[in-house]
């Protein structure tokens, strides 16, 4: 029996469960230097399914955006994005593949978001 690995590290049976996923940003945050950066290294979020190493990118609008700081609550990835101007909190549902804007700050960006220390604490 072959044992699956991620980045050279063995993956145990609990991680190989069909629903175990990892959300990550593979590139640096260029928007920290240039507001509304839309170049080739714009920040993006990938969701990696560890059971079979399949992956998908959280969908972006046609004119691009910077997605960053992914965090999980249940089946949903919450993240910051500057789609539409300033950074706001968005969510991505893995089952429906819908992106929903959760906050509406037009004058100042949401600078950071932290996952809750106990069960879901993000205001809906």
Query: What pLDDT shows up at residue 5?
Result: 56
Kindly list the distances between the CA atom of residue 102 and the CA atoms of 44, 62, 77, 88, in Å, as whole numbers in the listed order.
18, 20, 12, 7
User: So what's the pLDDT on residue 56?
Assistant: 92
Query: What is the pLDDT averaged over residues 102-120?
Result: 78
| Residue 73: both structure tokens together | 């609550």
Query: In which band, very low, low, confident or very high, does the pLDDT at 122 lie, cut at 50, 70 and 90?
Result: very low
Question: Per residue in 53-90, pLDDT tens?
Answer: 889 999 999 999 999 999 988 789 999 999 988 999 99
Eight-state DSSP code of residue 35: T
Q: Which residue has the higher pLDDT, 63 or 38?
A: 63
Q: Which residue has the higher pLDDT, 44 or 30?
A: 44
- The pLDDT-based confidence of 1 (bands split at 50, 70, 90) is very low
Contact 58, 25 (CB under 8 A): no
Delimit the domains of the chain by residue range.
5-101
Give the pLDDT of residue 39: 78
E-state strands within 3-119? 5-6, 9-10, 21-24, 46-49, 54-57, 67-73, 76-81, 88-93, 99-101
User: Average pLDDT over the chain, rounded to whole?
Assistant: 79
């Amino acid at each position: 029996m072959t044992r699956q690995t991620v980045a050279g590290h063995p993956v145990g049976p609990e991680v190989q469960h069909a629903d175990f996923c990892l959300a990550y940003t593979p590139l640096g945050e260029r928007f920290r230097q240039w507001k509304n950066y839309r170049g080739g290294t714009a920040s993006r979020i990938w969701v990696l399914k560890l059971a079979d190493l399949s992956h998908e990118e959280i969908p972006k609008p046609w004119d691009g955006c910077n997605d960053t700081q992914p965090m999980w609550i249940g089946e949903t990835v919450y993240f910051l994005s500057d789609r539409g101007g300033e950074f706001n909190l968005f969510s991505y549902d893995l089952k429906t593949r819908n992106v929903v804007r959760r906050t509406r700050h037009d004058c100042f960006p949401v600078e950071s978001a932290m996952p809750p220390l106990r069960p879901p604490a993000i205001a809906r």
